[in-house]
Structure 1
Amino acid sequence: MSGDLLDDRYQVESRLGAGGMSVVWRAWDRVLERAVAVKVLAGAQAAAGGARQRIQAEARAAAGLWHPHVTSVYDYGEHTDAAGRHVSYVVMELLPGQTLSQRLAAGPLPPAAAMRTCAQVAEALAAAHERSLVHRDIKPSNVMLTPAGVKVVDFGLATTVGRPELEADGKLLGTAAYLAPERLAAGTVVPASDVYALGLLLYRTLTNELPWSAETPTQMLTAHVYVDPAPLPDIEGVSPEVHRLLDRCLARDPADRPDAAEVATALHDLTDDAERRVEQAAQRVEQAAQPAPEPTPTDAGTPASRGRRIPRAVLIPAVIATAATISLILSQFTPVDGRSGGAATRDSAAPPGAAFDTSATEPPAPRQTSAEPAPMPRPSRTLTAAAEPAGPTAGAGSSASGGPTTSPSAGQPTVPPSAAPLPASPKPGTPLRALGGVVTVLCTGDQAHVVNVAPAPGYSLRDYAPGPVKEIQVVLLSAANKSEIRARCEDGTPVPKIRESRR
């Protein structure tokens, strides 16, 4: 495919990602002279008439749905290559950034960022539902994080309200971890199914987990129907109103769920409230940290009327960590990730006579446990929320490269005596999380110091530049993966760049 010229217009350049049914390529539009993304059917799907109709329907659905949080579709075409093979393709805008799935490889989002992200997804869904269009495959890998905000991608499974859920061949299309229970009843398509998946997306972005302990797609399908979701754990910055909204989104009866427009409005309001509380807390800390008043020469017996305002760089670690993590969301361009899945067998949760199509499945995010996986619980509500993990639990990041340097001993090193001394009153620093572990960074002006490195289980420290330097670099390795953590200081706050790759 690379090097092909589609219809004398789109010069295919390089592969960006692949899923169960299609491959996405970077291409150059010779007519409008711009880079675009071209999605083509893959393998046996390319010759299937039903698949060609589906990709054409995807192009029409997305093209007719203009919204700032929906990826734009430019063109649809059918091409016959030199070998006589027929290729159906969709031309879309080429999005910079990374998928939410890739971002979650570094851990859950800060509460305000998680709520803002899901609010923008809800806006996109509300626009689709106004046109009687249901996405049916909302999940982290179909949400792009770009400099312009969220973009919902892949309308390949979208269809109109009221159509049968089952395809003509008896298949139920979707991703097992995000399927609403009514979809498994093989009824008709309803917008509330997207709201259910949106609730799971919000839970995932806040915790990097799903609210069930399920190891297989079959167990997950059963959980949707018979097992109550575990309540959202208490998270600093997440108000009780967020918990109540999430419970409504995950209601088993679709009639009990809010519509997408209501969710969007509520999440935007809750995000504004959360950001306002953080700012108020920061102001209180600033005021409390002001030095004691000093007498002035003209008023020796009266306290000075004003204290000196401390720099914002010494605010509470939670405020600094929030800003640093939000900046991580859009810190790098990574390929659009594909979709993966395993075989799913039918059980009592699946509709009679339905075969689950695994082409759009992705592995569920595992809940953190300290013991062997427990068997599926009975229908009664027995699950409890697991503690927030110390590091990321799922996902994959973009590739990175870097040569080895002198390696210190593994463990949890601190700044060596040869490095410049830290301030007399040390500040706690900002933790930066990656798959390979947690690096705590302290900024003094534009100089960065590594305060501590805590490798994740199975990882060891490879490269380590403690500072003070303009940019710190820490490399953590496992048998199969590599985490590279870099950070610079801007206005006293570390701005990280985290890259994950296979060894």
Structure 2
Amino acid sequence: MVGDLLDDRYQVESRLGTGGMSAVWRARDRVLERAVAVKVLAGAQATARGARQRIQAEARAAAGLWHPHVTSVYDYGEHTDAAGRQVSYVVMELLPGQTLSQRLAAGPLPPAAAMRTCAQVAEALAAAHDRKLVHRDIKPSNVMLTPAGVKVVDFGIATTVGRPELEADGRLLGTAAYLAPERLAAGTVLPASDVYALGLLLYRTLTNELPWSAETPTQMLTAHVYVDPAPLPDIEGVSPEVHRLLDRCLARDPADRPDATDVATTLHGLADDAERREKQAAQSASVSPVSAPTTPSSPPGRRRRIPNAVLIPVLIVTAGTVSLLLPQLIPADGRSGGVATRDGVTPPNAAFDVSATEAPAPRQTSAGPAPVSRPSRTVTASAGPAEPTARAGSTAGPGSRTSPSAEQPTGPPSAAPTPTSPKPGTYIRALGGVVTVLCTGDQARVVDVAPAPGYRLKNYNPGPVNEIQVVLLSAGNRSEIKARCDDGTPLPKIKESRQ
């Protein structure tokens, strides 16, 4: 794809990212002389008629929705590639910054920032809902954090209010971790489903966790329908009003949820209050030193353990969607049968294809996870920015005890080493340890390696090179960390396997 010229106008320069159904490329608009992002259908989806219709519908939906917190769409076209295939693409604004998912790799956001971020997402959703458009896939990887504020991206499965939730072929589209319970009832599309996902997004930005202990898409879907979410833990700077708003957003009955406009207004006000408290605390700290705050323990909550859920941090890895089957459609009251995987014994009546490319940030137990034998897997990991200095009470950096990002392999809290000294660069965390990588243009250099307890470092080339490779070994496990650089940003890939 690199070097292709689309419609004699868009010169493809480099890959920005890949999902289950599409890839996003950096390109140059030779007519207007500007950098743009080009989303192209990938793999088997590239020539599928339904997928091509969907990406065209996405372009029309987003192009008709102008809002400062929605990514602008410039163009749509079809290109014949070198193999003679007709490939559909969408041209969008190229956004500086990082996704919320990438930011959460460094830990939860400060309360004011978390509330402001979600308030801006709510504004974007309110604008979409005013046009009778429902996004249906709000999650951290679809929220961009830019210098100008939040941008909501990927209207790939958006549709209009009142349409059937199921596709013509019986599929339900969405991400399992953020799927509203009423969507599993296979009814009609509702704006309240976006508000439910927004509530989970707020919980995630404040805690870097989701309010259930679930490790598979099946358990996630079961949780949405049958398991009460764990209450938001006590967090310094988060008022009771935030707890009440979250409870309303996560109400099982969509009629009990606020609309996106109400959420935006409430969160902006709460963010203002939190910012004032943070400034007052900073001023007080500059006058007299205070001790580092203790981490509050989570209050006893309403959470019920999901049947058969194993409370260990895991990473769900797929190349696209996970096919799930329901033994029967779940009615709106949520009292019907549970969820079964394709190899389950209950004969299904309806198929649901639910994306699991963004796994939940698992809740951690105080005792840490039990050892588990894992098959070999390859994952694309997000990297968080390195902190130049350590701070008391900080949640960022490789020594953090908070839940790590869902896009990275996770292990026991004791397995997260702290580098011997602060280093410039970007931390890449694996089960075997933490590698600090510094990018200079497209060249990568290893600045520091901190093996986890029980792991040792094999020989490696520190660079600068086009792609670094670091291997960390224990008695029975192997962590292989690779990373290349794109315009100064590390693009890591981690492979965890048994020896």
TM-score by length of structure 1 reads 0.70
**Residue of structure 1 in register with 2:459 after alignment:** none
Query: Structure 1: which 5+ runs fail to align?
Result: 290-313, 319-337, 375-393, 402-414, 416-427, 440-454, 466-470, 487-496
> For the aligned residues, what is the CA RMSD?
3.3
- Give the Å deviation of 1:342: 4.2
What SS class does the counterpart of residue 224 from structure 1 fall into? Answer: helix
Aligned residue among 415, 422, 426 for 1:458: 415
- The change in CA–CA distance for 1:161 and 1:235 in structure 2 (over 3 A counts) is same
- Tell me whether 1:357 sits opposite 2:353 in the alignment: yes
**Residue of structure 2 in register with 1:207 after alignment:** 207
**Aligned 1:121-160 pairs, distance under 5 A:** 121-160=121-160
- Tell me whether 1:344 sits opposite 2:324 in the alignment: yes
- The change in CA–CA distance for 1:186 and 1:230 in structure 2 (over 3 A counts) is same
**Residue of structure 1 in register with 2:434 after alignment:** 482
In the alignment, the residues of structure 2 paired with residue 395 and residue 103 of structure 1 have an alpha-carbon distance, to the nearest angstrom, of 15
Q: Do 2:58 and 2:157's aligned partners in 1 also have CA atoms closer than 8 Å?
A: yes
What SS class does the counterpart of residue 211 from structure 2 fall into? Answer: coil
- Give the Å deviation of 1:61: 0.3
Q: Do 1:461 and 1:476's aligned partners in 2 also have CA atoms closer than 8 Å?
A: no
**Aligned 1:336-485 pairs, distance under 5 A:** 342-347=322-327, 348-349=337-338, 353-359=349-355, 361-370=357-366, 396-398=381-383, 429-430=391-392, 432-434=394-396, 436-438=398-400, 457-460=414-417, 464=421, 480=432, 482-484=434-436
Q: Do 1:36 and 1:93's aligned partners in 2 also have CA atoms closer than 8 Å?
A: yes
In the alignment, the residues of structure 2 paired with residue 195 and residue 474 of structure 1 have an alpha-carbon distance, to the nearest angstrom, of 33
- Give the Å deviation of 1:82: 3.3
In the alignment, the residues of structure 1 paired with residue 88 and residue 429 of structure 2 have an alpha-carbon distance, to the nearest angstrom, of 41
**Residue of structure 2 in register with 1:161 after alignment:** 161
Tell me the matched-pair count.
385
- Give the Å deviation of 1:23: 0.8
Q: Do 1:482 and 1:500's aligned partners in 2 also have CA atoms closer than 8 Å?
A: no
- The change in CA–CA distance for 1:3 and 1:429 in structure 2 (over 3 A counts) is closer
In the alignment, the residues of structure 2 paired with residue 367 and residue 7 of structure 1 have an alpha-carbon distance, to the nearest angstrom, of 48
**Residue of structure 2 in register with 1:257 after alignment:** 257
In the alignment, the residues of structure 1 paired with residue 11 and residue 113 of structure 2 have an alpha-carbon distance, to the nearest angstrom, of 37
Larger radius of gyration: 1
Q: Do 1:133 and 1:161's aligned partners in 2 also have CA atoms closer than 8 Å?
A: yes
Q: Do 1:460 and 1:478's aligned partners in 2 also have CA atoms closer than 8 Å?
A: no
**Residue of structure 2 in register with 1:41 after alignment:** 41
What SS class does the counterpart of residue 190 from structure 1 fall into? Answer: coil
456-465 vs 274-283, which moves further: 456-465
Aligned-partner residue type, residue 159 of structure 2: T
**Aligned 1:11-410 pairs, distance under 5 A:** 11-285=11-285, 289=288, 342-347=322-327, 348-349=337-338, 353-359=349-355, 361-370=357-366, 396-398=381-383
- The change in CA–CA distance for 1:66 and 1:349 in structure 2 (over 3 A counts) is farther
- Give the Å deviation of 1:83: 2.4
- Give the Å deviation of 1:7: 0.7
In the alignment, the residues of structure 1 paired with residue 99 and residue 89 of structure 2 have an alpha-carbon distance, to the nearest angstrom, of 22
What SS class does the counterpart of residue 2 from structure 1 fall into? Answer: coil
Aligned-partner residue type, residue 40 of structure 1: V
In the alignment, the residues of structure 2 paired with residue 285 and residue 210 of structure 1 have an alpha-carbon distance, to the nearest angstrom, of 32
- Give the Å deviation of 1:438: 4.4
1:183-241 deviation per Cα after TM superposition (whole angstroms, max 9, x unaligned): 00000001000000000000000011111111111111111111111100000000000
- The change in CA–CA distance for 1:476 and 1:156 in structure 2 (over 3 A counts) is closer
What SS class does the counterpart of residue 344 from structure 1 fall into? Answer: strand
Q: Do 2:100 and 2:145's aligned partners in 1 also have CA atoms closer than 8 Å?
A: yes
Q: Do 1:480 and 1:502's aligned partners in 2 also have CA atoms closer than 8 Å?
A: no
- Give the Å deviation of 1:274: 1.0
What SS class does the counterpart of residue 437 from structure 1 fall into? Answer: coil
Looking at both structures, which has the greater relative contact order when contacts are Cα pairs under 8 Å and sequence separation is at least 6? 1
Query: Structure 2: which 5+ runs fail to align?
Result: 294-317, 328-336, 341-347, 371-378, 402-411, 439-487, 495-499
Percent identity over the alignment is 75
1:152-183 deviation per Cα after TM superposition (whole angstroms, max 9, x unaligned): 00000100000000000000000011010110
